[in-house]
Chains A and B, each alone.
Chain A
Amino acid sequence: MTDKVCRVVATIMGVPAGGVNEDSSPASLPAWDSLRHMKLILAIEEAFGLQLADDEIVSMTNVRSIVALLERKREVRA
């Protein structure tokens, strides 16, 4: 899960795949501005086949929180 999220983040932010880890955030990646954040959420929704709520979107502030949220949603569905 973490790897897949990191890959999506790297592609959307336009950085090498190795340049993203669990701690990556708008503070550590200069390309991660609010517009890229929107594009990232849309790409994650496509990649994982789900829809996030508005309050979930604003809570996704780094890779770790994105992974945690996606795992929580997966458990709820399972």
Chain B
Amino acid sequence: MSAGFPSLVEIEDLLAAADTAATEPLRLAVLREVTVEPIDAYLRYLANRDGMNGSVAFGGFGALVQEAVGDAGAALSGDLDAVLVFAPLIAISKALSSNFAALDAQGLQDEVERLKNLFESVAAGIRRQSGAMILWHGLEPPLYPSLGILDAQKRDGQAATVADLNAALRATLQAVPGAYFVDTAACLARVGGSRFYDTRYWHLARAPYTPVALAEIAAEDFKFVRALKGKAKKCLVLDCDNTLWGGIVGEEGMGGIMLGKDYPGSAYLEFQQEVVSLFHRGVMIALCSKNNEEDVWEVFDRHPDMALRRTHVAASRINWRDKATNVRELAEELNIGLDSIVLADDSEFETGLVRDQLPEVEVLNLPRGRPVGYRNELASCGFFDLVTMTTEDRARGAMYGAESARRHARAQAPDLENYYRSLEMTLEIGYADELSIPRVAQLTQKTNQFNLTTRRYGEGEIAGLVRSPQHDVLWVRAGDKLGDLGIVGACILEYGNGTVSIDTFLLSCRALGRGIEQAFLSEILQISRARDARSVQGEYIRTAKNAQVDRFFVENGFSERGEAHGPDRHVFERRLDALPLREHGHFAHVASPLGVMTARGM
């Protein structure tokens, strides 16, 4: 079976024995022009592995257009997390898949036009019926183009036409919030054509894909699902000896370790380059190794072939203590949960210890002595995949640099209030729009600790709330003289009957400890009153990770309402008639829809 997957029978036995009653539901719908039913087992298996109870509803065979455009989609009804679309070329265009050689230029153009319209109307139709994430499986290139070797020479050959159609599909999906292109061609390339297609079942049941192919596609789909569900990892913790370079620096010295252009050092260098790519995608990089600290930093500072630099490293524990303790400390220092961490290590002893002591931590066991496999081991894991790459992600590395400058300034300042003022902090609050919707959705998906209700939203759902007259979606952006933090918080309000309910209130952990949450909340109260609300209702839903905010509403002038909501849900209220005047607090500059406030004398 495909790498990492049990057999179909094993999956069914495993799922039958699993206790899924208490786990978070994951509801998927499949709209398709072909038979893909066996994927159901792989999707439910992956859901279970990520702590979710997966269910999969299939639309009618060959009924994609009727269900999406004709609003006849029983599979699209109800509360869905994601809609998977399978519309391979062989099912949606006989002309392009099987009769390509017979087409003239006009016929080709007409058929391409028809398919582009189909993409647009189906994507729009699904979005009209559901706010769920849309995962559309792109077209696969032909294994044997109908014009033979000539096809590759032509700008309008079959392979080129498929590439054009994929580009059009990508553009269509980009215009629909929360809709994504799944690269089926990459799945095909990884599996190989002869293992990807099942010609027997294509003819027997219009089922084109083998179990291996469906497992690979399901794994690809789950990279999106994990991102949507806030399960993407944030930090890669790396061992050093035999992970970042070959050999042991404490024994062989900096000159003796293997790292560089030649084998086997070249394999370690490629692995490092993959780590640096993750850094530029916004993943925090940390070190956890058993070494003398000065030996490691000497390699970082002086080895000419290091791709990973000291500036990429957000935190480190280089000492002789056990790695479970060290990883726990790294999580505290970086202000992230243990379940946001991946440890990459070549030692089975260390990975085994961490797996045993800290089961929340994901472990990447690098095959010791086989560094040529390291790079793909990391590149294929999919743990860090995000569906958007925001400005905040791209700049995170630099932001962490500014953070250490802030820590330094804090140590210098006589007290906290003085420190805040010395930073000249600024705050901007605004309504979510096209530009900020991806970041707001991402924050609802990623934020675990300072998150009052932990409701996860896709881009499509946030866009729906932005349009809704009963809702306000607000973001807060923070900065100071050392740098811009970007959009660090979000709030969703629901209006009705003279009251406002705070559906979502969250702040990224990077922005904690500087009074942003109070300032954001107090502007929100002012905005609510300006919209004629008489009282505000706040909600706290307890999770394993958000204990730090259980008193947030009480500390901000709310009182708990008596009625019972179960042990994990609390509702608070605050009247708005005696609200104090707006003030900028210790911020140098506060801008919101209500106007700009500036500290005196600035």
Contacts and interface: CB of A to CB of B under 8 A. Distances in A.
Interface of A: 7-8, 11-12, 14, 34-35, 38-39, 42-43, 46-47, 52-54, 57-58
Interface of B: 1, 7-9, 12-13, 16, 35, 37-38, 41, 200-201, 203-205, 207, 211
Nearest to B205: A38
B35 A53 contact: no
A12 B37 contact: no
Contacts of B205: 34-35, 38
Contacts of B13: 11
Contacts of A8: 9
Contacts of B200: 52-54, 57
Given A11-B9, A46-B211, A47-B7, A58 B204 contact: yes
Interchain residue pairs A-B with the least CB separation, the first 5: A54-B200, A46-B7, A43-B8, A11-B12, A11-B9
Given A12-B9, A38-B38, A57-B204, 18 more contacts: A8-B9, A11-B13, A14-B12, A38-B35, A38-B37, A38-B201, A39-B38, A39-B41, A42-B211, A43-B7, A43-B9, A46-B1, A46-B9, A46-B211, A47-B7, A47-B9, A53-B200, A54-B200
Contacts of A47: 7, 9
Contacts of A12: 8-9, 12
24 contacts: A8-B9, A11-B9, A12-B9, A12-B12, A14-B12, A35-B35, A38-B35, A38-B38, A38-B201, A38-B204, A38-B205, A39-B8, A39-B38, A39-B41, A43-B7, A46-B1, A46-B211, A47-B9, A52-B200, A53-B200, A54-B200, A57-B200, A57-B204, A58-B204
Contacts, number: 46
A39 B204 contact: no
A43 to B, nearest CB: 4
B8 A54 contact: no
A38 B9 contact: no
A46 B204 contact: no
Contacts of B35: 35, 38
A7 B205 CA distance: 24
A7 to B, nearest CB: 8
Nearest to A36: B37
A58 B204 CA distance: 9
Contacts of A54: 200, 203-204
A35 B8 CA distance: 14
A54 B38 CA distance: 18
A35 B37 contact: yes
Nearest to A14: B12
Nearest to B201: A38
A42 B16 CA distance: 19
Identify the interface centre among A35, A39, A42, A46: most chain B CB within 10 Å of its CB. A42
A42 B201 CA distance: 10
Nearest to A58: B204
Given A46-B1, A46-B8, A38 B207 contact: yes
Nearest to B12: A11
Interface centre among B7, B35, B200 (most CB of A within 10 A): B200
Nearest to B202: A54
Contacts of A57: 200, 204
A39 B573 CA distance: 54
